[in-house]
Amino acid sequence: MKLRGFALVAICGLSAALLAPSAVADPTHAKGATQLELVCNGTPYQVAVNGNGKFTPAHIIDGTGVVVPYSLDITFTFTPPGGATQTQTQTVAKGGPQTGAVNCTIPFQSFSGPQGTFTIQGTATGFLTPRSH
């Protein structure tokens, strides 16, 4: 299904952005990068996600930090031009709660392109880097 592939790419991108260390290159210009809004413990962040893993780290655009998820509950929709909306929910976790965890909301966001409209919303739990000791 096209939605599954799209959802997998989105989850992978979000997950990869959340696990990698801070990068010196601009992640917003990387091929396949997606920019999203996250609200973690009440603080809004604009992040760039680029990668293929379920737990891809999200690079904070206006800083050097990274949001690293270990639990995701995300709903995706995909609506092709003239077609029916397809919905998929992904709930995944690795490991348990960690010290210094942040709870993030992925507010409803919509992206349109020639192949249709894609939406994402949900929650993520993880940690922010750099981490304090």
Task: Give the tens place of pLDDT for each residue, 24-74.
Answer: 455 565 666 789 999 999 999 999 998 767 788 999 998 889 999 999 999
DSSP reduced 3-state for 4? helix
Distance CA 102, CA 50 (A): 21
pLDDT value, residue 9:
43
Overall average pLDDT of the 89-113 stretch = 90
Q: With a cut of 90, say whether residue 100 has pLDDT above it.
A: no
pLDDT value, residue 22:
38
User: Looking at the 3D structure of the chain, how many domains does it have?
Assistant: 1
The tens digit of pLDDT for each residue in 77-99 reads 999 999 999 999 999 999 877 77
In total, the chain counts a number of residues equal to 133
pLDDT value, residue 24:
44
DSSP reduced 3-state for 105? strand
Q: What angle do CA 59, 61, 64 make, to 5 degrees?
A: 65
Distance CA 11, CA 25 (A): 22
Distance CA 72, CA 75 (A): 10
Residue numbers of the domain that contains 103: 2-129
pLDDT value, residue 130:
80
The span from the first CA to the last CA of the chain, in angstroms, equals 44
Q: With a cut of 70, say whether residue 4 has pLDDT above it.
A: no
pLDDT value, residue 52:
67
